[in-house]
Structure 1
Amino acid sequence: MTSVIEFFQKMNTIGRIGIFVGIVASVSGIILWAILNFFNPYSAEGISDATVKMTFLGLGLPAIFGFGASVFRIKWLMYTVFIVSLPLSMYLAGTPSIFKLFLLVSVCYLVSAILMKTDKKNKDI
């Protein structure tokens, strides 16, 4: 754990912002996924198990991997998280609800990956 903290202290500001954006996007994605499936104010009859599984694979799992990619500065994984979450996020962006924010979360994955890549001191990882 100390190696992660030491590396974070050695990073440029842009790399720190990239990690912060990735963590915030991932946590927001997990919260939005939980609201979508378990506390959905737009669905009175409930959500089927198939929908929960599909949204977990398309939105929940990428958010979890995005968190790990942010903490451990894995840029290629963050790009993958963006690509995997984008189709379902774009679909939800067409709905008249709070779930339009999933598209913002996906864009933040991309921004985080770009910022982590542009950090000059982070080239070796």
Structure 2
Amino acid sequence: MTSSPDIGTELPEQVYRVTRADLVRYAGASGDFNPIHWNDRTATAVGLPGVIAHGMYTMALAARAVTAWTGDPGALVEQHVRFGRPVVVPDDEEGAEVTVRGKVGALLDDGRVRVDLTVTSGGEKVLSLARATVRLQ
């Protein structure tokens, strides 16, 4: 990544596979053991299409794409998202795909840039108004 990108510079597309095993690991790390993230009966009983990924896990994948671009996890200063749609994770070996695309939307002061993100799964946008602020050296 160049240290001074232009507005419109695109980040490399990142595609992440999310499986039920990933959700179990995330639950253990986060302490969020809500059964909508691992039990189909519970998820459908509350009106969901099936087991869904944790929203914060999806948000973390977006952050991961940004820090992969910067090459420095410490460069991420701020991140904003709205959770638009859930990522439905089937109970199979394939799981779900989450795709993160981004582009530089603004050059800010003090060497910071705003990265506008598009995060999708199954062709649907799952995070709305997603953006990150990074400080480039």
Q: TM-score, normalised by structure 2?
A: 0.26
Higher strand fraction: Structure 1 or Structure 2?
2
Structure with the higher helix share, 1 or 2: 1
Q: Which has the higher contact order (CA 8 A, sep 6+)?
A: 1
TM-score by length of 1: 0.28
